[in-house]
Structure 1
Amino acid sequence: MTVNRWRALLGALLGAAALIAAALAPADPALADAGARHGASWPTWQHDTYGSRSNPDEHQITPATVSGLKLKWAFTYANLPYARTGSQPAIVDGVLYVGAPDAKFYALDAKTGATKWVYDTTPVAGPADASHQNLIRDGAAVSGGRVYFGDSRGYVYALDTKTGKLDWAAKADDHPLAEMTSSPLVSDGKVYIGVSSGEAGAAANPNYPCCTFRGSVVAFDARTGKIDWKYYTLPPAQRTGSWPSGAAQYGPSGVAVWGTPVIDPASGTLYVGTGNDYTGATGASDSLLALDTRTGKPRWTYQLTGADTYTLACSGPDPVGYCPSQGQGTALDEDVSPAPNIFKVHGRTLVGVGQKGGAYTTFDARTGKVIWQTHLSPPPAPGKQDPGDAGIQWGTSYDGKAIYAATWRGNPGKLFALDPADGHVLWSTPAPADGCTTGGAGLTPSLCTPAFTPAVTTTPGLVYEGGYDGKFRIYSSRTGTQLWSFDAVQDFQGVNGLPGRGLGISGNGGAVVANGMVYVQAGYYPYYPSDRGYVLLAFGL
């Protein structure tokens, strides 16, 4: 064979290899990082460090097979009225890890729901009581043989995945009302998590000395639990006067970090959103933060809403007396609570995030410059509902082709697909008009609203989203057409022997899809009548 023929053959082989590699590569170059691909697993809240909420390696459940999904098992939690099952499961090596409202954390067989082990957090955090009914609301993260999660009393835990034995537990914040709704993210030997608070609810009591909490982002050593750094969103609160009841008044306060962080490993930057002020009007409220993962120092911050000072006192009998911002029109409740998405457009790394006010905004990930913003839900009529009720609550998904976002009470709530380059709406589909009058929700339609609550999830060709009406739906990612649905507002018999009943679909988290199975929580608002525990549902083909 001549040299030229050898060269031609080698060129053909290299060309074929390149074509195969291109076909197998993820649609987004950012997702080519080995740490972002998890195959049959869903190890962290957003699935990967980039925050895609998309499993590109799920090929069993497809647009052609999705109609064959059936309920495989239900797991029932302890019956705690008005608790919320917000903990999103993590799936690794055929084991499902999930927290419960009664302070217990479970490892279950992902295929059957059989319990492998149970860890009780009360020896660390103390016994549950009437003031703590949602003791584990955040989702788990699995890395390096440990499972990490936080609770509603300010602790973060690391358990051995095989045995459930406690490796370490550490307080993320000493404020008595600190809690974790943010789910942990593990990267490069650290556990990153945001700290939120129940103080906005406590402020509804006129005798409560509102308010002293300040939000933060904390980085723990993943091996020891030692705090490596902590970034506060506000300066410490000071006494500023008294409320009409005579209770002490403090400020500034608030700016909780409700949502889950994401990380771009290439630049070593963590991105996470913040909430509104409780008192005062300062700090990094309603903002997207870009923090150095090594030091916690801000690289940039961008405030999406100006003055926004809100607590539940703003909905009380004397809103102006205990919520001065109400009279100024700045009690907006427009937190940046959804987890961000990191993606690339024409080689440029962008970070996008939704907001409870209804907008999705995309930034240059390096500089914080706004690239585009799309408003997905109009503000509500004055006095009808808080502006923050209209928009994006918990999270959005990016599958390499589009960004998928859902609005809560967006008159009605809608599911959207957006062009990542410019925010153009590719399609939208509303929450079905008959959702509140059919199925289990139809028994008490006055409790229901056509709204989408949880974070959006995607796999190739499919979008997964749950509703206030208790119905879990799967849509075509290409057209937005509904392909499958399941009504969770019904009775179930849990594989753990407890009777259960579903409510609204998932709050903090959303659907988790791995290894041909779909998992979703059915125990969130609204509280349809039930005398049973709420349920985790598992579907398969």
Structure 2
Amino acid sequence: MSLVRSRLSGARSVKFKAVSAAMLVVALASCAPRKAANVDWALHGQDAGEKRFSDLGEITPANVGQLGVAWYADFDARSLRGVEGTPLVVDGVMYASGPWSKVIALDAQSGKKLWEYDPQFDGAIARRACCDVVNRGVAYADGKVFVGVLDGRLVALDAKTGKPVWTVQTTDTTKSYTVTGAPRIVKDKVVIGNGGAEYGVRGYVTAYDVATGKQAWRFYTIPGDPKKGFENDAMAMAAKSWNGEWWKYGGGGTAWDSMAYDPELDLLYIGVGNGGPWDRAVRSAGKGDNLFLSSIVAVRPSTGEYVWHFQEVPGDEWDYTATQHMILADLEIDGKPRKVLMQAPKNGFFYVLDRTNGAFISGTPYVPVTWAKGLDPKTGRPDIVPEARYSGTGKPFLGMPSPAGGHGWQPMSFNPKTGLVYLPTAEIPYGYISGKTEDFRFDPRGWNTGQDPGKTAMPEDPAIRRQIRGMMGGALVAWDPKARKRVWSVPMPLPWNGGVLSTAAGLVFQGNGTGDFAAYDATSGKKLWSMPMGSGIVAPPITYSVAGVQYVSVAVGWGGILPLNMGEALQASVKPKVNRVVTFRIGGKAPLPLPAKEAEAPLAPPPSTASAAVIEQGRVLYHVRCWMCHGDTVVNHGGVPDLRRSMVIADAAAFRGFVLEGAAEPLGMPNFSKDLKPDEVEAIRAYVIKRANDLKADPKMP
């Protein structure tokens, strides 16, 4: 017995020594320095629900004033154009997209360029892009980076080398489709939409296998020609809300940006765009809701099967897309937990929907609204002002929001801790007026709205322009989706500004059109820090950590639809001087060279000698062919030449060389030889010369 006890005692002693040794190892390990885990920004909206909120808390309201530049990296762009992309960070590497669908990979700590990818498409494709040669971001999965290219391709790149793994053409190249939106990853599929509603296309969303690029499914957002049959029951249902021969004009409904995914419900939410043409009298004989225009549609991501929809703007006539950022969250509403989808689309109402079934919960104006009196409290259907139905009437309607929206494509952010949504808003009036329906001529190469281009342009009378400009404004708004009201608002110098990021530490980051990147207190809106970037900012920021250090990054580069074609509203903007990514950290001390302020090109136009009739002809033609890039009434603040200051307008032959002979097609200036005659080009030149002389006579009133 004593021998057994002795052996048991020895066994306990050995076990005790082993446990003690193990505890010592653990204790020593806990004392040793640890390599901090990285926190990625691996999805477009940070999480599948696209909240654009981060739990990182090293940067706080107390120390945000110590932010400094960690590094910057420039894009190699053909020309300085709009930068709208959300960079991704995965395993210490940043992947960012810039103008012309170019992609760069950078070391997320140092900014060192690891590789770059140029899809190398024909610059003339830019003609199809209503809203600049922008790209809103890439996607990442299984060691591949996915980018949608302006010419309609979806390319999978090897994340280590930047070399293409597979490529698919997602669009019909005989039609004027474009791709500017970021792909989304949903399980083993990559999903992409397209743009081009005004150019005669039919919208759809397509899912491809991440590994191979094989098409898994395609969901059309509006019905096609009924004689050819319908792809599914959803299209058959939608067709009942259309009239006339809409398919001849494409119909629109392009899903060019926003999507979100709920893994628990296994639903993919798609934001659907406006009608094409805008004028419903042309598009659908002035009748019908025209499903699924201006709608949110939920589908099964494995099959593309329709589940539910909610239409925000029945029978859209105002370019009020539902393609703006959607956020999925769980909120307690009227004492009950609800799974909600939140959106502040172009139309000016902030929507809260039940994302399980699309049921309407609430909708409240977040900016001034003139097109509708309000929304039905049960269904969410708008009570549309009769005068707003301008189609076919020939009567003007002053609409707010404008086609640029009360909130544009720039992403907003939801902070679960404050319960607030932070969003950039815009207040811009717009005069809608249709031409005669019988006079409409569909142009597959041009901009089709059905409106009268000679009457929708900004009036040239200086007094009227000052009055209209006084109606314009922008703000960073903190919105309470439960109380349905603004909590605070920070006015901005311009109505067009960057997307938003919020953090658990109580910060909100945003860049603006005057080139400032700033941090605000999430509860009060107080500005806590800012730094000039040398160019206007429209892209949204992100935050991530590498080796325990938190970084904040933003892509910089002024451009997009408003700087190109509504320059009147943006005179205080900082024009595109750089296209780059700038990254900050606490104590960062890297230099950030800002571009020198360039003197305006000399204003020395030739005298305006053309007849009033020729100038008027040129004005109408200009607003059919040129204004989308060179600006309403020849005023733009984007990355294309200010024609009023161009020496080319003094030389008729040189002007024709650009317009009719494609002298600058590689840079995106289209060749209009199939669309304009020499005498029409001369009329356009006469109008531009007149506007240049207007500016010379009154430099304060462009």
TM-score by length of 1: 0.73
Q: Find the residue that maps to 1:195 and give its secondary structure.
A: coil
**Are the structure 2 counterparts of residues 402 and 189 from structure 1 closer, same or farther at C-alpha, using a change threshold of 3 Å?**
same
The alpha-carbon deviation at position 136 of structure 1 amounts to: 5.7
The alpha-carbon deviation at position 96 of structure 1 amounts to: 0.9
Determine the structure 2 residue equivalent to 1:48. 47
The alpha-carbon deviation at position 42 of structure 1 amounts to: 0.9
5+ unaligned residues in a row in structure 1: which ranges? Answer: 1-37, 201-210, 240-247, 309-329, 436-449, 490-501
- CA deviations on 1:432-474 (whole Å, 9 max, x unpaired) are xxx4xxxxxxxxxxxxxx2243332111211112222222221
The alpha-carbon deviation at position 46 of structure 1 amounts to: 0.7
Q: Find the residue that maps to 1:250 and give its secondary structure.
A: helix
Q: Distance in 1 between matches of 2:106 and 2:57?
A: 23
1:371 aligns with 2:361: yes
5+ unaligned residues in a row in structure 2: which ranges? Answer: 1-36, 228-245, 278-282, 285-289, 372-396, 429-471, 565-572, 587-702
1:156 aligns with 2:154: yes
Q: Distance in 1 between matches of 2:141 and 2:125?
A: 33
What is the aligned counterpart of 1:521 among 545, 551, 555?
555
1:455 aligns with 2:502: no
- CA deviations on 1:238-267 (whole Å, 9 max, x unpaired) are 99xxxxxxxx99334211112231100111
Describe how 1:61-80 pairs up with structure 2 within 5 A.
Answer: 61-78=59-76, 80=78
Determine the structure 1 residue equivalent to 2:183. 184
Determine the structure 1 residue equivalent to 2:238. none
**Are the structure 2 counterparts of residues 356 and 221 from structure 1 closer, same or farther at C-alpha, using a change threshold of 3 Å?**
same
Q: Is this contact kept in 1: 2:479–2:486, CA < 8 A?
A: yes
Determine the structure 1 residue equivalent to 2:412. 396
Q: Distance in 2 between matches of 1:106 and 1:480?
A: 34
The alpha-carbon deviation at position 75 of structure 1 amounts to: 2.1
The alpha-carbon deviation at position 408 of structure 1 amounts to: 2.6
Describe how 1:73-472 pairs up with structure 2 within 5 A.
Answer: 73-78=71-76, 80-81=78-79, 83-122=81-120, 126-129=121-124, 131=126, 137-175=135-173, 176-197=175-196, 200=198, 211-236=199-224, 250-279=248-277, 280-281=283-284, 282-308=290-316, 330=317, 332-346=318-332, 347-379=337-369, 383=398, 387-394=402-409, 395-400=411-416, 401-409=419-427, 411-431=472-492, 435=493, 450-460=494-504, 461-472=506-517
The alpha-carbon deviation at position 91 of structure 1 amounts to: 0.9
Q: Is this contact kept in 1: 2:103–2:116, CA < 8 A?
A: yes
Q: Distance in 2 between matches of 1:151 and 1:359?
A: 32
The amino acid across from 2:502 in the alignment is: T
Q: Distance in 1 between matches of 2:523 and 2:576?
A: 40
Q: Is this contact kept in 1: 2:294–2:311, CA < 8 A?
A: yes
TM-score by length of 2: 0.57
Which structure: greater strand fraction?
A: 1
**Are the structure 2 counterparts of residues 529 and 402 from structure 1 closer, same or farther at C-alpha, using a change threshold of 3 Å?**
closer
Q: Find the residue that maps to 2:310 and give its secondary structure.
A: strand
The alpha-carbon deviation at position 276 of structure 1 amounts to: 0.7
Q: Find the residue that maps to 1:389 and give its secondary structure.
A: coil
Q: Distance in 1 between matches of 2:269 and 2:38?
A: 24
Q: Distance in 2 between matches of 1:181 and 1:422?
A: 35
RMSD: 2.7
**Are the structure 2 counterparts of residues 78 and 160 from structure 1 closer, same or farther at C-alpha, using a change threshold of 3 Å?**
closer
**Are the structure 2 counterparts of residues 74 and 385 from structure 1 closer, same or farther at C-alpha, using a change threshold of 3 Å?**
farther
Determine the structure 1 residue equivalent to 2:691. none
Which structure: greater helix fraction?
A: 2
The amino acid across from 1:168 in the alignment is: W
Q: Is this contact kept in 2: 1:75–1:536, CA < 8 A?
A: yes
**Are the structure 2 counterparts of residues 78 and 404 from structure 1 closer, same or farther at C-alpha, using a change threshold of 3 Å?**
same
The alpha-carbon deviation at position 129 of structure 1 amounts to: 4.3
Q: Is this contact kept in 2: 1:194–1:260, CA < 8 A?
A: no
Number of residue pairs the alignment of both structures matches? 427
Q: Find the residue that maps to 2:54 and give its secondary structure.
A: coil
**Are the structure 2 counterparts of residues 336 and 86 from structure 1 closer, same or farther at C-alpha, using a change threshold of 3 Å?**
same
**Are the structure 2 counterparts of residues 368 and 102 from structure 1 closer, same or farther at C-alpha, using a change threshold of 3 Å?**
closer
Q: Find the residue that maps to 1:191 and give its secondary structure.
A: strand
Q: Is this contact kept in 2: 1:457–1:510, CA < 8 A?
A: yes
Q: Is this contact kept in 2: 1:79–1:533, CA < 8 A?
A: no
Determine the structure 1 residue equivalent to 2:537. 505
Q: Distance in 2 between matches of 1:535 and 1:106?
A: 10
The amino acid across from 1:389 in the alignment is: A
**Are the structure 2 counterparts of residues 117 and 81 from structure 1 closer, same or farther at C-alpha, using a change threshold of 3 Å?**
closer
The amino acid across from 1:466 in the alignment is: G
The alpha-carbon deviation at position 79 of structure 1 amounts to: 5.0
Q: Distance in 1 between matches of 2:52 and 2:248?
A: 38
Q: Distance in 1 between matches of 2:225 and 2:558?
A: 33
Q: Find the residue that maps to 1:40 and give its secondary structure.
A: coil
Q: Find the residue that maps to 1:87 and give its secondary structure.
A: coil
Q: Distance in 2 between matches of 1:103 and 1:183?
A: 10
The alpha-carbon deviation at position 533 of structure 1 amounts to: 4.2
Q: Find the residue that maps to 2:313 and give its secondary structure.
A: coil
Determine the structure 2 residue equivalent to 1:17. none
Determine the structure 2 residue equivalent to 1:35. none
Q: Distance in 2 between matches of 1:91 and 1:531?
A: 25
Q: Which deviates further from its counterpart, 127-136 or 219-228?
A: 127-136
**Are the structure 2 counterparts of residues 406 and 530 from structure 1 closer, same or farther at C-alpha, using a change threshold of 3 Å?**
closer
**Are the structure 2 counterparts of residues 480 and 529 from structure 1 closer, same or farther at C-alpha, using a change threshold of 3 Å?**
closer
1:488 aligns with 2:533: yes
The amino acid across from 2:89 in the alignment is: I
The alpha-carbon deviation at position 365 of structure 1 amounts to: 0.8
Q: Is this contact kept in 1: 2:330–2:339, CA < 8 A?
A: yes
The amino acid across from 2:500 in the alignment is: V
